[in-house]
Amino acid sequence: MTEQAPAAPDDEEPAPAPPPKPGGKPASHALSIPWVRLRSAGSGHQLYKRMLGEVDSKARGGDLVAVYDRSDAPYGIALYNPHSLIALRLLTRGVGTFDADAFFAERVAAAADFRRGVLGLDAVSDAYRLVHDNGDGLPGLVIDRYGDCVVLEFYSLGMFRQAARLERALKAHYPNARFFHRASPHTQSHEGFELKPNLGTGTRVKENGVTFLVDPSGGHKTGFFCDQRDNRLAITPFARGRKMLDVCSYTGGFALYAKKHGAEEVTAVELDPDAVELLKKNANANQLRVDAVCADAFPYMRQAAQNGKRYGLVVLDPYKLIATPDGYHLGRQKYIDLNRLGLSLVEPGGILVTCSCSGMLTWPDFMQFVRTAAGSAGRRVQIFRKSGAGADHPFAVDHPEGEYLKVLWCRVL
């Protein structure tokens, strides 16, 4: 007969029930801004829709909100947008006695001091990245300074709603600033805001002795690319006495540096006709002769190779060829094809400088693309330097995606 287990004593207490989950306003919430309670949280600065639990009924898209974890412990202050995949962009860890005016004034002051006081960029150029997204603790925002023009590029509804507060903070450091606002159609659609057309004229800036005309109301991104400043200067020792090809030249950054520093002849290839016209004006402003060509880079380089063209210095600086995970395969092939064509145009012993601004592309993958291109082109390639964006483009330790620009310096044999 099977032995039965003894019955539990009548006075044994049942297992305790789990504590009820918090509901309603967090007990410690005392700020005037709305609150959000999380269902779950990760270690990063971005919190997605699926991570949200209860949300204050007063919270609206673009609001600053106090964030609490599932146990009602203070988590941080964030920008809130229920219509975006990234529902919360963290500004601070912990809640405290948050004061928005003081917060933005402090972050802008720290960013300006880093560029001026620490990096000393005013002695080099009046064009530089003033705020670099999470790298400066202001997620969803990029600010570029071009002389008296300060361009705010918004990547989030929350930062767009803070435009007036940001401009007040910037005026303390750049009292004569003229402000321009930029945001891509993609950002405006996905974040849920609309920018009015920019008004105002462009300006002229100087970078390491080279003059550029900048139109903050038009062109790509904020009108110019400050991130390549150090790399533009670094090509100059390789330019003297050589023929140079600058592919995807935009308004002529690499081309003008090369010509100013002794390149025998310079060809700049750019698909955007407006950029080509500005490139020509930049060449005239520097009293330099550059052959500006409005053409698609791929057929142009194929034709140049068929015609037996060779250059001592080739720079490849394409637009973002991998913008989404779905576009990775096609972008990979474009990077390989572009580099294969570029390598075929470098004379033996010449230099190839090849760039990627695709944040989704890792260093190992980019190097693999170049190895594949070298094998396809039948060229032996020495990589002698790796570089990225200038120091005015810092990236946060918990946001490695901020290290988006990758540059390989190659000797082609």
Using CA atoms, how far apart are residues 54 and 36, in angstroms rounded to an integer?
Answer: 6
Helix (H, G, I), strand (E, B) or coil at 194: coil
Q: How far is CA 384 from CA 174, 258, 282, 317, in A?
A: 40, 19, 31, 18
Secondary-structure percent of the chain, ordered helix, strand, coil, rounded to 5: 30, 25, 40
Tokens of 145: 């300074």
Active site residue 410: no
Stated length of the chain: 413
CB atoms within 10 A of CB 325: 8
Choice among 149, 226, 357, 410 that is catalytic: 357
Environment class of 349 (CB within 10 Å of its CB; exposed 0-12, middle 13-18, buried 19+): exposed
CA distance to 82, 251, 252, 356, per residue, from 319 (Å): 31, 13, 14, 8
| Residue position matching structure tokens 């004006």 | 281
Give the sheet arrangement for strand 46-48, strand by strand: 46-48, 86-93, 74-80, 64-68, 35-38, 52-55
**Pairing outcome for strands 346-356 and 406-412:** antiparallel
Give φ, ψ of 183 to 5 degrees. Answer: -165, 140
Using DSSP's 3-state secondary structure scheme, residue 386 falls into: strand
User: Which residues belong to the active site?
Assistant: 357
